Structure formats: C-alpha cells, structure tokens
Chain A
Amino acid sequence: MSARTIELEILRYDPEQDDVPRYETYTVPYREDWVVLDAINYVKDELDRTLSYRWSCHMAVCGSCGMVVNGEPALACHTFLRDYPEKIRIEPLQNFPVERDLVVVMDDFIDKLGSVKPYVVAKEEKDVDDGEYLQTPAELAKFKQYTACINCLLCYSACPQYALNDSFVGPAALALAHRYNLDSRDVGRVAREDVVASNPGIWECSFVGACSEVCPKTVDPAAAIQQTKIASTADYFLSFLKPWNRK
C-alpha cells in the first residue's frame, strides 16, 4: 500500500535573504488524525530546519499557532488535514507585518490590549483576609463568554476594518474591555471609555462580524462591540439628563 501524501505550500520570508515573500512546497505524509500543525512539524523535523513558526500547547488554548490556512485564519493545531484538499496553502496572519515565515509582529496588538485597562478597577481595595467578593453564577454568566479569548489574533486577521485602519483598537481588545465592564467587581467602565468609546474604538467597527466567525473560542467580539456601543450611547444621552455625572 503506497502511503498517501499531501502538499503544503508555505509562505517563506527571511528579511535577511528575501526581498519579497515566496512560496515553498513540501510533500508530507497524510494522516487522518493529523492537524495542520502536525504536518508543519513534520516539515521542520524531517525536511527543512529553517522554517519558522510559533506553537506550543497543541490543544487550542495557548493561542500561538494562528495562521492563514487556505485563505482563512485558523489555529494550526485545531485544523485537521482531513478537512482540506490535497494541497494546503499556509500563510502568516493578515494585517500584521511578517517578522519571518509564519511569524508575525504582534506589538500593535499587545499595545492595544494594554490600552483598554484589562484589569479590575475596584471601588475600594479589599483586604485578602476579608475574603472573596461575592459574585452569583448569574453575575458570572454575564461576562464569562468574554473571558475565553486566547489572544490568537485570528479576529484581527479577519477584520476588514483593522485592514483599512490600523488605529482601530480591534475585536479582541474591545471584547476584553467589555468583559471587565460587565464584571460585578469592576467600576472601571468610565476609565476605559477614553479608548473604548473613541473613534478608533467601538465606532470604527462596521459590524461585518468576521471576527466572531473565525473565533475558535466563540467569544463573539462583534456582540461585545455592539453592546458597548449601546452602553456608550446611553451614557451619552444620560449625560444631558444628569449633567453632574459628566466627566
């Protein structure tokens, strides 16, 4: 029985050697239970030591191995060979500069993540010896979905708005801001509004919803952004009714 093989066409780019990116094709064994990452690891271990990419957990939780597989952003460790044709094209995530091969420069995302103040802003500091904040399962359920983001950047790769305007804060960071805004322990919504409710924040989003479609953890950043728009609009009109609350 001849062993079945498939072809991987991988984008290669080393700024020290290449003026422009190029594609290189590798023939690898096909296995029914292999994910795309297994095939890429085969290339690295058996065929070409110079291929660079990020990976670690192989269980879709560390968020390292986001790439574009046959045109769609995906986690390489959670995308099966069996769901693709004989030839698979693998490229780095879109909308980020390529550092090398399948590795993108993610500085911009990291800056944006920090810009939304993604931590609890407490009303008053509570001593640990006074125990935990009470939070009912219903209160937890309000924001739990938005805690599931693994920062894999697939949503930035899919986002048409981020492609046009890289000042857009973007899906994952805005969803994270929403997560803290909804947390019963947090009073930081006003402090986050400078970034979140600004033009490059929620108002830049044109609600195409591509972010939610590609999210491997069903975080639904598009919903987070729409809910934030409603909350900010309410704030805006309330500021006329209660001018003493204005910033």
Chain B
Amino acid sequence: METINTDVAIVGAGGAGLRAAIAVAEADPSLKVALISKVYPMRSHTVAAEGGAAGVIKDNDSFDNHFHDTVAGGDWLCDQDAVDLFIKEAPRELTRIEHWGCPWSREPDGHVSVRPFGGMKVERTWYAADKTGFHLLHTLFQTSLKYPTIERFDEYFSTDLVTIDGRCHGLTAIEMRTGQVRFFRAKSVIIATGGAGRVFPFTTNGAIKTGDGMAMAYRAGVPLKDMEFVQYHPTGLPGTGILITEGSRGEGGILVNKDGYRYLQDYNLGPPDPWPRKKAMELGPRDRLSQAFWHEQQKGRTIDTDYGAVVHLDLRHLGEAKINERLPMVRELASSYIGVDPVHEPIPVRPVVHYTMGGIDTDIDAATCVEGLYAAGECACVSINGANRLGSNSLTELLVFGARAGRGAARVAMRGIAGTDDQQIQAVARAAEDRVLEFFRRADGTESISDLRREMNDAMEAGAGIYRSEDTLKTCTEAMQEIRERYKRVMLKDKSNVFNTDLVEVLELGAMIDVANAMACSALQRKESRGSHQRLDHTERNDSVYLKHSLARYSATDLPAIDYSDVTITRSQPAERVYGGAQE
C-alpha cells in the first residue's frame, strides 16, 4: 500500500474543509495539506445552501441579539461559550469571504445587504441572491487555488482513521480512478464531511450526504453527540425534496393550508398581521413550523398529492420583479421540477429532512477526544445548534469552525508527534485496507444494497421522524439492528477497480447504518421533547434530567451505549421559547 506523507490531512472539500485548508496554509506556509474528498470540491453539498449566512453587521443589530436567537432557537441545548465565540467571529469570517470575492447582494450604497430568516429578532442574513452556498463554495474553492501547499486528492473515498492509543496518525482512502487504497500519514486530521440526511428517504441532502466522516470518527472512539436532533426544513418540494429556501418567507412568502388559511396562527406563532414580522408566523423557527405541518395533517387540513401531503407556500404577492431579483433559483426550481411558476401559483411544499444538529463531539476549538483529530461543519457538534439550528447559522458555522479546526490542526502539526511505532501504524493501516478488500473477496454475499438502504430509510422515517414515541423508536432500533446484521452479508456485484460506485455505495451504506443506529438509540433514550426531538409520550421539556448532551459510543457488536455530558450555560438560563405576538 502506498503511503502519502503530509502534515495535515483534511477529509471533505466542501465549505468547512476548504476553509480549514486555507487556514492551515495561512498559519504556516511550510505545512503540507492533503485535501481529500470523494467528489471534486465544487460538487460538495455546501453548493446547495440557498438562503444565506448569519452575522451581525448592521447598526440595528447586536451580538446579544444573535446570541439569544441562537440559544433560544436551540431550546437551550447550545453551549453558550461556543455560541459567544461563534457570533463574534461570524462577521469577520463573512467579511473575509467578501474580500475573497463572494458576490454578496448589496444595498444601493454598496454595503452588504441582509435579509430576515426564521427565529431572528433582527434581519442579519447575508445572502447572494438565493444561491449563497453555491457562491460561498466556489469562492472558497477558487481562492484555495492560490495556495501551493494545498494538494488536492479529488475523488478519493476515505474509509478509516488510523488511530493508536487515542492518537490519530492519518487515514486510509481509496483512489477511485485506480481502486487502490492509499495511506495518508498525517500529523493531524480534520474531518469535514458534512451531514447524513441520506439516512432518511425524503431529504434536501444530495446523494453524497451519507455520514462517512461521522462514522469514521465514531468507529475510532469519538462519541457522536446529540444525534437525536434532526432538522426538518418546513419547505421542500414534494417528490424530490428539493429545498425551497427560508429566504422565500424572509422576503414575505406565506404558508397556507387547503382552505387558504395561514394555519401557523393556531400554533403559538400568530397573530398573522402585521406581516412580515420577525420571529412570528412564517418567520418562526424551523422545528415549530415542521411540527405545525404535522398537526395540520392530523387534522386533515393539508392537501393530498401523489407524493404525500402538502401545504402551499404563496409568493405571488411579492411580484415578478422581486422574485426574479431575490429568489431566481426558487422560481427556476419550482418551474422546472413541478411545473409551478411561483409568480402565478403557490408552491406545494412539505417538511423535509435537512440538517443533522448532532455529530462528532468536539470542543470549542473543533478538537475531538482523539489527539490530533479535529472536526468542523455539519459533521461536527460543538454545539452551537443545540436541539434546533437557527436558519443561516450553518454556512457561518462552517467558516468559523472550519478556520478554527485549520488553525488547531496546524498547531499540532507544527509541534510534531513524539516517538511513534512505525510498524504498528502501518499494521493498522493495512487492516483498514483489508476491510475494503474483504468486500471483493467475499463470495457469499446475499443482501442487496438497494434493498437494505430502502429498509433503513423506511425504518428511520417511520420511527424517528418529526414526532417519535417509545413504540416507534423501539421498532426502529430493532429494525436497524437487523439491518446492521444483514449488512454483514451485503453483496458487492461490481469487482472492477476503476471508479467502482458499487463499492462506494457499500461503504456509504455501512456508514449510514452506524449513524442511523446512533440517531435512533439516542432518540429512544431522551424521554422529553426539546427542539426538533418531539416525543408523543413525553411532550414536555425536562431540564432537570435532560438539559444534557447525549453521547453515543460505538460498539462493534451491540447497540451504542448512550451517556450524557453537561451543557455550558453562561448567561442565559433555560426559559420558555416564545414566538409570535407573545414575545412583544
């Protein structure tokens, strides 16, 4: 097996990975960076983010506002020291991206423009029309080309961390063009592989969002934190799950049920007028809006379609000119994929799995409990997102914590590693290679990838959706255990070495099964309702027991063990989340 020696290895070349790579290159131009991704950087799913990135910049706003919106939005499960750090770094990171060329939308006087988002007291979302993630990703990718020390390994599928006695020494990855496994030997490693929405059947997430990095860290002994918290975005297109940005409601769009009634007023988010109004009605937080949809459906007030129940997102009153200027992609997506032009008709939408609040357990510096191993972006859980992420915090998060991970990993690499046993490291790397080769050798595979994946998707949707209960979650965890067993007999049909996507999908499925198990088991253990985790059998938040982060620990044979760690509370004591008229 070929060994590629580097200083810092980064897995994932989306927003967080690219930002981290640049941070390493700027911290010390003598450090070699290996930027490893299963896709070319501009294919990364950061590209699909639409609405914008939050950062305090205007005189009518304050760090305090951003802090309180984030902490209350997260139902007090955020670590408040991390949130404080995040909101203060946010405007600086967004400005840096501006200097690097991001085409932010502007005010007439040339300053960056901001728009309102859900759960926000004051508008603070920087945006580049409704393609913010796309522009942010391409700006980062193109800027990264300036730095000769960043060497990219595009279309390398990472399989395992090489870890000995709590110290990370690199990772193994398959070069997809040749099928060969390479050992990236590194002084520090950053995981930046994004979310795991593909665990569910109906998601805004692209095909690549399979939780590979989360599973790698998990198997290497890092707990997955707060995995029960999965965000449903309230407005996805039926059928495909294509995201219709919250920016559409930020610009004044409304949600109505089959009777044309703005139903959110029935769920402590009203009154409906005056509109638009911050932190009210359609600008409430995502968890509350998706939950309100569920109740409307129970009451028979949604609209049935071939792709499930929907409500209507009505933008018509914004007018064609504003829709074209602010929401051109929304218009294009709705017109192309469901034949609805939002200038003339309301868009049918339904809640769709969008974001994993949970992830690889890190501290405020993006460091994990494994020495030399960092994580940033959606794959990580610091946590600034708590039980429900505030819309437009995620793009900012990947910049702030991507940069911190880069600087931390650079410091470790500059220090170097004391006395390591080469033979032992190579042996661990060879074992990782063997895990891949075993799929080729196996002759007795009986289980089909697509069947297992479908069953996993169905089990998660039925058992761990917007509303959960002891019964549904038990059924789900049992199903997931069975799927995990059957995965041991999964069949690799394609034995080619060249761009073998059958192999990639086998490995992705393995990662998803581990991540899904962590989600379901964490959800079963948390006997309360908080943020995006809603239990029909435990409907209240229970701070005396569950004001805690859950930590799922990997077991090769059993269900994950779940334990808990403290939430850092500094200046905001848990209180009731109040939206709509009641906040005034």
Residues of A within 8 A of B (CB): 14-17, 33, 44-46, 49-64, 78, 99-101, 103, 105-106, 110, 113-114, 117-120, 122, 126, 128-129, 131-137, 139-140, 143-144, 147-148, 150-151, 176, 180, 183, 185-186
Contact = CB atoms under 8 A, between A and B. Distances in A.
B490 to A, nearest CB: 11
B206 A186 contact: no
B42 A63 contact: yes
B99 A128 contact: yes
B295 interface: no
Interface stretch (B103-111, B366-374, B576-584): B103-111
Nearest to B110: A134
Contacts of B252: none
Contact of A136 (B92, B109, B242, B498): B109
B424 interface: no
Given A118-B145, A134-B110, A185-B101, A59 B48 contact: yes
Contacts of B40: 106, 110, 151
Nearest to A122: B99
A15 B498 contact: yes
A91 B363 CA distance: 48
B100 interface: yes
Contacts, number: 149
Contact of A133 (B39, B98, B131): B98
Contacts of A16: 496-498
Interface of B: 39-40, 42-45, 47-48, 92, 95-96, 98-101, 103-112, 131, 134-135, 138, 142-143, 145-146, 154, 177, 206-208, 239-240, 242-243, 329, 333, 336-338, 449-450, 493-494, 496-502
A33 B336 CA distance: 10
Contact of B207 (A51, A55, A78, A118): A55
Contacts of A185: 99, 101
Contacts of A61: 47-48, 131, 134, 329
Considering the complex of A and B, which 4 residue pairs feature the smallest CB-CB distances, nearest first?
Answer: A134-B110, A56-B206, A49-B493, A45-B450
Contacts of B208: 56
B338 to A, nearest CB: 8
A58 B145 contact: no
B239 A33 contact: yes
Contacts of B333: 59-60
B197 to A, nearest CB: 12
Contacts of B108: 136-137
Nearest to B206: A56
A50 B494 contact: yes
B305 to A, nearest CB: 11
Question: Of residues B99, B240, B333, B450, which shows the largest number of chain A Cβ atoms within 10 Å of its Cβ?
Answer: B99
Given A55-B207, A57-B45, 6 more contacts: A50-B496, A56-B43, A61-B134, A62-B42, A119-B100, A133-B99
A147 B502 CA distance: 34
Contacts of A14: 496, 498
A137 B44 CA distance: 28
A17 B498 CA distance: 10
A58 B242 contact: yes
Contacts of A176: 142
A139 B206 CA distance: 33
A24 to B, nearest CB: 14
B207 A119 contact: no
Contact of B135 (A17, A147, A151): A147
A202 B333 CA distance: 33
Contacts of B329: 61
B501 A137 contact: no
30 contacts: A16-B497, A33-B239, A51-B501, A53-B501, A55-B207, A56-B39, A56-B45, A58-B206, A58-B240, A59-B240, A59-B243, A59-B333, A63-B43, A64-B39, A64-B43, A99-B498, A100-B498, A100-B499, A118-B145, A128-B99, A132-B95, A132-B98, A134-B109, A136-B108, A137-B106, A137-B108, A147-B103, A147-B135, A183-B101, A185-B99
A37 to B, nearest CB: 10
A54 B333 CA distance: 21
Contacts of A33: 239, 337-338
Nearest to A16: B496
A15 B98 CA distance: 45
A62 B501 contact: no
B110 A62 contact: no
A72 to B, nearest CB: 17
Contacts of B242: 58-59
A150 B95 contact: no
